[in-house]
Amino acid sequence: MKKNIALVSLGCDKNRVDSERALYNILDSGFSLVDDYASADVIMVNTCAFIESARKEAIDTILEMAEYKSTGKCKKLIVTGCLPQKHINEIKDELPEVDAFFGVKDYDSIGREVIELFDKDGQIVKVERQDGGTKTKRILTTPQHYAFLRIADGCNNKCSYCTIPSIRGGYVSEPFERVIEEAKGLVNSGVKELILVAQDVTRYGQDLYGEMRLVPLLKELSKLEVQWIRLMYCYPELVTDELLEEIAQNHKIAKYIDIPLQHVSDKILKAMNRRTTLLSSKDLMEKIKKKGKNIAVRTTFMVGFPGETEDDFSALCDFVALYKPAHIGVFAFSKEDGTAAAKLKGAVSSKVKQERVNKLGKLHLENCRERNETIVGKEVEVLYEEIDFDKNMFVGRMEYDAPDIDTKVYFTGDFADVGNMYKVKITGYEDYDLLGEMVLIS
């Protein structure tokens, strides 16, 4: 009888790709995938360890899943990803409930390892750093109509607050042909939207080809029968005129770009070891606006960085009020051991950090309400994704929104197929999200 495995995938979209590749190798070794943790013989938790809150979530989840060893069928609990990669020496003794730990480079062999795990006693630790590319075969854990396409791993930017280089190593692009091959497989399986992810999408190809090849990659991907290609994690200093032109003119590319600015104070940006300034950020936002096509900008800002004054924070608020990015993620600085920022003086109190998170979030909400007001009464194209049974409404999103993290459109209608486009008349909004009614199938 086949053994069952259940998955918990934490963290970012890049981590999800790791989970999907690990799943393929485990299922290829003879396991069956189940959603019910209580019926799983093996539970795998793929972890994030980027900041303290992510590590806490990972530990809490591991302990929660460990309960199924006594209340369910679970015989083996596996922990993979960034947490063991970075903190294996601290956690292996503290988590005796875990039967095996695997790092971020171990996914291609994990199927065989999990099979062998049932014949072994005691805790297994296999956290290695291996060179070379990863395989392209995956088990999608997203809805069938979209998938994340990771085009590189690791990072060379060395932002002073970031642990990613110490966890995942330096920047390594996936070979051009391998990315295209994986994309073709995804599209052939029914995927309509490819979401390009990496720690730094814009740097793609520089390590392999001596030049950045994101735009040529976009042109080649656009030849596939795909509806949207979406760009996440584009570093601001590498967003070129050529890239913006491709987004604006290529009908296959979603009119959307994710650019993590992090801050706009020159002093704070320098301390973060970022390569932008207030002026360059303003110039970039102006360029995007001039391109037209209503390109939606998603960005992230970190508040409470050591040395951040009220003037620094006010400059950030002024920037958001002036340029009104379509989507914003706001995070408080987290002091991470081993990073340069951990040694900086001028710590901002937790209370002040939270106040600044709330203030910037409130400002963004006001911008969203203002923008949503201009959409009321218009007919828009909406990709249908799920049903909200509490609201008794269909749920979808526009081209200007990424799944899970951006604006949703709740709408009524007689019938809808997941993954199809529908024309919806917007009748109102609730803070970030829009409300509407189906007009016709587009």
The string of pLDDT tens digits covering residues 317-355 is: 999 999 999 999 999 999 998 899 999 999 999 999 999
Going along the chain from its start, the domains and CATH numbers come out as 4-126 (3.40.50.12160), 146-369 (3.80.30.20), 376-441 (2.40.50.140)
**Residue 105 scores a pLDDT above 80:** no
**Residue 438 scores a pLDDT above 50:** yes
pLDDT tens track for 346-361: 999 999 999 999 999 9
Q: Where are the beta strands (DSSP E) in 124-165?
A: 124-126, 146-150, 152-153
**Residue 244 scores a pLDDT above 90:** yes
pLDDT tens track for 259-304: 999 999 999 999 999 999 999 999 999 999 998 778 999 999 999 9
Mean pLDDT within 38-50: 91
Q: What whole-number distance in Å separates Cα of residue 201 and Cα of residue 259?
A: 10
Q: What whole-number distance in Å separates Cα of residue 209 and Cα of residue 206?
A: 5
Task: Provide the 10 A C-beta neighbour count for residue 5.
Answer: 23
Please name which of 293, 343, 300, 358 lies closest in space to residue 325, comparing C-alpha atoms: 300
Q: Which residues pair with 148 in a beta bridge?
A: 195
Mean pLDDT within 139-156: 92
Give the pLDDT band of residue 230 (cuts 50, 70, 90): very high
Mean pLDDT within 362-384: 96
Q: What whole-number distance in Å separates Cα of residue 200 and Cα of residue 168?
A: 13
Q: The dihedral of CA 51, 56, 62, 68: what is its sign?
A: negative
SS3 305: coil
Give the pLDDT band of residue 85 (cuts 50, 70, 90): confident
Q: Find all residues with CB under 8 Å of 432, minimum gap 6, and list them.
A: 365, 368, 372, 407, 408
Query: Helices in 37-152 by DSSP H: which ranges?
Result: 52-66, 68-71, 82-91, 110-117
Burial label for 404, CB within 10 Å (0-12, 13-18, 19+), is: exposed
Give the pLDDT band of residue 395 (cuts 50, 70, 90): very high
pTM: 0.88
Are residues 42 and 31 in contact, defined by beta-carbon separation less than 8 angstroms? yes
Confidence (pLDDT) at 121: 57
Give the mean pLDDT of the chain: 91
Strands 296-303 and 379-388, bridge-based pairing: unpaired
Q: Find all residues with CB under 8 Å of 429, minimum gap 6, and list them.
A: 369, 372, 373, 375, 376, 435
Confidence (pLDDT) at 138: 81
Q: What whole-number distance in Å separates Cα of residue 28 and Cα of residue 158?
A: 37
Give the pLDDT band of residue 129 (cuts 50, 70, 90): very low
Give the pLDDT band of residue 370 (cuts 50, 70, 90): very high
Structure tokens at 183: 């994309």
Q: What whole-number distance in Å separates Cα of residue 211 and Cα of residue 105?
A: 26
**Residue 134 scores a pLDDT above 70:** no
**Residue 251 scores a pLDDT above 90:** yes
Confidence (pLDDT) at 52: 84
Give the pLDDT band of residue 132 (cuts 50, 70, 90): very low
Mean pLDDT within 72-84: 91
